[in-house]
């Protein structure tokens, strides 16, 4: 056994234990664990045959599909670092990301070929692997992915120090590559879920798989984001099966159809962005979908309101709703679990075993004090940001002799020790000397039945420095909505203006482009 947990070791071991069990499903194409292993082995060999060496980086410029997880597995086999790529990026953003990540190879869907044409000459990419999605022929400068899967597999050196790079932060600043050692990433799952030994021991995997195969899971959000990828990896590490949707935008009917057809047990979503449309479909078509197989719904990355949770549980009372408080930089900060027999809550979490809420001078926030602090996550965490020592030092700090990840999330601690999330510091509004956390106001606005989505921002104001403004998606009277907000939050938090929009432009991972929406708000007000 090589030092440290490596996903390739775990996946290969599972393929040996249950070779004919299902591993991947997409658009009618089913891959068994043995096929998953063999195809990833071919891609790994093709990458190294093209000159890539251990530690090189491989960009995954892909929509959800079997090839995403196959190429991830291939990178792990060959000791290469997979790099997620936001498929919404335009040419300049792609060029920056791939240059910053020192990308040596790119696996891409054919739909992106034209965009790649505009940047490929700026980059030192050795191999372009083209995944056929029916959008056109393979470019002459690329190699068909299917041909790569047929390459004869070879042995590669690898261990738990091999990296997974998760780029994050593109809508609030320059994207940063979070460096996860595979050993740390695996242990962050294991210690929370399976309690495998910290030191690698594949016998623990054997025992788990022999007990039962893992669940069938749909990452309804993109695999290019941490929520989708991490949930998929967790299920694969249990000999589970990952089902991916064909629609490239959120299609609730396809999601519910697939849950029913594939008897899905687990799905990863992004808060109200996904669950509100799910609820609307279930309410509009009672009895159309049998979702009784669905046992767990996992969310991370955006607010998931208590009212929506409760309404979903009315449709499937045996469902467990896990609202995970985590980020690409920090695993296991906390979670909130809702069941039919336990009250659903919004933005309130039971803290993880290694989580603290600290003040500016590194004191622990006293429970029930009302004091606002920063959430600090200990335990297994990333090494830092790729090629950015300054940002790494600011986010990953030593406190009381232990290393913590402090991405900038503000919270208070209630008397019972639970954590109430207030928001990311970068979006905090200072109005007349008062700090306002947008998520709290957004939650209040979304309680109005006519509001589909809302984003609260601070815009320049001569009197208060910043004024609270809400960009709202939905057919609602501004005065009525402001009056509604006054019933739920203090007067200084109530939006001064409501800016109506057709859509706030929220991405599938729940994030919005605050800079763009602030420009929309300023233009509307002026």
At 408 the pLDDT is 87
* Contacts with 487 (C-beta within 8 Å, 6 or more apart), sequence order: none
What's the pTM? Answer: 0.86
Do 82 and 202 reside in the same domain of the chain?
Answer: yes
The reply to whether 130 falls in a domain is yes
Distances (CA, A) of 420 to 399, 412, 440: 22, 5, 10
CATH assignment of the domain containing 73: 3.40.50.980
Looking at residues 394-410, what average pLDDT do you find? 93
Same domain as 116, residue 131: yes
User: Which residue has better confidence, 386 or 325?
Assistant: 386
Are 336 and 204 in a shared domain? no
Q: At which of 389, 423, 457 does a domain end?
A: 423
**Is 302 domain-assigned?**
yes
pLDDT of residue 421: 82
pLDDT at 2 over 60: no
Which residues constitute the domain of residue 110?
7-210
The pLDDT tens digits of the residues spanning 90-131 come to 888 899 999 999 999 999 999 999 999 999 999 999 999 999
42, part of any domain: yes
Q: Is the pLDDT of residue 34 over 80?
A: yes
* CATH code at position 347: 3.40.50.12780
pLDDT band at 206 (very low <50, low <70, confident <90, very high): very high
Asked if the model's pLDDT at residue 171 lies above 60, the reply is no
Domain count, the chain: 3
Query: Residue 510: its pLDDT value, please?
Result: 76
Average pLDDT, rounded, for the chain? 92
State the Cα–Cα distance between residues 25 and 237, nearest whole angstrom. Answer: 16
Angle, in degrees to the nearest 10, between helices 66-78 and 7-17: 110
In terms of domains, do 260 and 121 share one? no
Q: Give 271's pLDDT tier (boundaries 50, 70, 90).
A: confident
Q: Are residues 184 and 68 in the same domain?
A: yes
Residues in the chain: 526
Domain check: are 361 and 381 in the same one?
Answer: yes
* CATH number assigned to the domain comprising residue 511: 3.30.300.30
Question: Residue 69: its pLDDT value, please?
Answer: 98
Over range 204-210, report the average pLDDT.
Answer: 95
Tell me the pLDDT tens digit for each residue of 433-458.
677 878 888 988 998 999 999 999 98
Looking at the fold, whether 264 and 388 belong to one and the same domain comes out as: yes
With bands split at pLDDT 50, 70 and 90, how would you rate the model's confidence at 169?
low
2 DSSP 8-state letter: -
- What pLDDT was estimated at residue 348? 81
User: What percentage of the chain reaches a pLDDT higher than 90?
Assistant: 71
Q: Is residue 404 part of a domain?
A: yes
Domain boundary among 210, 225, 240: 210
Same domain, 11 and 95: yes
Asked if residues 236 and 214 have their Cβ atoms less than 8 Å apart, the reply is yes
* 487 within some domain: yes
Placement of tokens 């919270």 in the chain? 411
Percentage of residues in the chain with pLDDT exceeding 70?
A: 97
1: pLDDT strictly greater than 70? no
CB atoms within 10 A of CB 204: 15
Residue 449, number of CB atoms within 10 A of its CB: 8
- Which of 154, 178, 210 lies at the terminal end of a domain, its last residue? 210
Between CA 151 and CA 44 the distance in angstroms is: 9
- The candidate with the shortest Cα–Cα distance to 223, out of 238, 245, 193, is 245
Closest CA to 332 of 301, 353, 356, 358: 353
170 — pLDDT class (breaks 50, 70, 90): very low
**Strand ordering across the sheet containing 127-131:** 143-144, 127-131, 103-109, 57-61, 81-84, 163-168, 176-181, 384-385
Residues 402, 473, single domain; the answer is: no
Give residue for tokens 């798989």: 209
Distance CA 400, CA 391 (A): 21
Classify strands 29-32 and 57-61 as parallel, antiparallel or unpaired.
Answer: unpaired
Task: Tell whether 368 and 294 lie within a shared domain.
Answer: yes
Please report which confidence band the pLDDT of residue 302 belongs to, taking 50, 70 and 90 as the band edges: confident
Q: Is residue 222 part of a domain?
A: no
According to the model, what pLDDT value does residue 119 have?
A: 95
Instruction: Say yes or no to pLDDT of 486 above 80.
Output: yes
Residue 348 shares a structural domain with residue 468: no
Do 56 and 38 lie in one domain? The reply is: yes
28 pLDDT above the threshold of 70: yes
Question: What does the alpha-carbon distance between residue 523 and residue 425 come to, in Å, rounded to a whole number?
Answer: 24
Answer yes or no: is pLDDT of 398 > 90. yes
pLDDT bin (cut points 50, 70, 90) of residue 172 is very low
pLDDT at residue 317, as a whole number = 93
Residue 342: pLDDT over 80? no
Decide if 233 is inside a domain.
no
Highest mean pLDDT among 33-42, 182-191, 273-282, 487-496: 33-42
pLDDT at 67: 98
Residue 352 lies in a domain: yes
Mean per-residue pLDDT, 341-350 = 77
């Amino acid at each position: 056994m090589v030092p440290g947990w490596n996903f390739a070791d775990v996946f290969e071991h599972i393929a040996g234990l249950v070779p004919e069990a299902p591993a991947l499903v997409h658009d009618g194409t089913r891959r068994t664990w043995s096929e998953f292993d063999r195809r990833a082995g071919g891609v790994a060999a093709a990458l190294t045959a093209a000159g890539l060496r251990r530690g090189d980086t491989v960009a995954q410029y892909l929509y959800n599909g079997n090839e995403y997880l196959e190429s991830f597995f291939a990178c792990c086999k060959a000791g290469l670092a997979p790099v997620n790529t936001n498929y919404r990026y335009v040419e300049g953003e792609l060029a920056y990301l791939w240059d910053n990540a020192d990308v040596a190879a790119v696996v891409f869907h054919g739909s992106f070929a034209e965009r790649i044409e505009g940047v490929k000459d700026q980059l030192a990419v050795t191999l372009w692997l083209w995944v056929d999605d029916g959008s056109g022929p393979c470019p002459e400068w690329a190699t068909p992915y299917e041909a790569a899967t047929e390459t004869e597999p070879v042995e590669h050196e690898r261990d738990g120090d091999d990296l997974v790079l998760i780029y994050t932060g593109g809508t609030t600043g320059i994207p940063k590559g979070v460096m996860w050692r595979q050993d740390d990433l695996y242990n962050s799952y294991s210690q929370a879920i399976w309690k495998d030994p910290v030191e690698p021991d594949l016998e623990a995997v054997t025992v788990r798989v022999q007990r039962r195969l893992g669940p069938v899971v749909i990452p309804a959000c993109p695999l290019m984001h941490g929520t989708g990828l991490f949930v998929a990896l967790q299920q694969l590490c249990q000999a589970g099966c990952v089902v991916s949707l064909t629609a490239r935008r959120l299609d609730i009917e396809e999601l519910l159809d697939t849950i029913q057809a594939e008897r899905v047990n687990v799905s990863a979503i992004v808060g109200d962005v996904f669950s509100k449309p799910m609820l609307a479909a279930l309410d509009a078509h009672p009895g159309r979908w049998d979702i009784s197989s669905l046992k767990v719904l996992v969310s991370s990355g955006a607010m998931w309101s208590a009212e929506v949770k409760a309404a979903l549980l009315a449709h499937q009372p045996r469902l467990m709703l896990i609202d995970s408080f985590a980020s690409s930089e920090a695993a296991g900060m906390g979670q909130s679990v809702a069941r039919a027999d336990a009250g659903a809550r919004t933005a309130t979490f039971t803290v993880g075993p290694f989580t603290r809420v600290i003040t500016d001078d590194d004191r622990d926030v006293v429970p029930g004090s009302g004091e606002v602090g920063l959430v600090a996550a200990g335990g297994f965490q990333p090494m830092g940001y790729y090629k950015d020592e300054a940002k790494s030092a600011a986010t990953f700090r030593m406190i009381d002799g232990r290393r913590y990840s402090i991405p900038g999330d503000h919270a208070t601690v209630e008397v019972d020790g639970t954590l109430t999330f207030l928001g990311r510091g970068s979006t905090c509004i200072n109005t007349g000397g008062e700090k306002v956390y947008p998520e709290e106001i957004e939650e209040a606005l979304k309680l109005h039945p006519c509001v589909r989505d809302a984003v609260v921002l601070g815009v320049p104001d001569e009197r208060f420095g910043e004024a609270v403004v809400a960009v709202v998606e939905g057919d609602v009277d501004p005065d009525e909505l402001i009056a509604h907000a006054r019933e739920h939050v203090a007067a200084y938090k109530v939006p001064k203006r409501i800016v109506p929009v057709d859509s706030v432009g929220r991405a599938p991972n729940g994030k919005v482009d605050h800079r763009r929406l602030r420009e929309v708000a300023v233009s509307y007000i002026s």
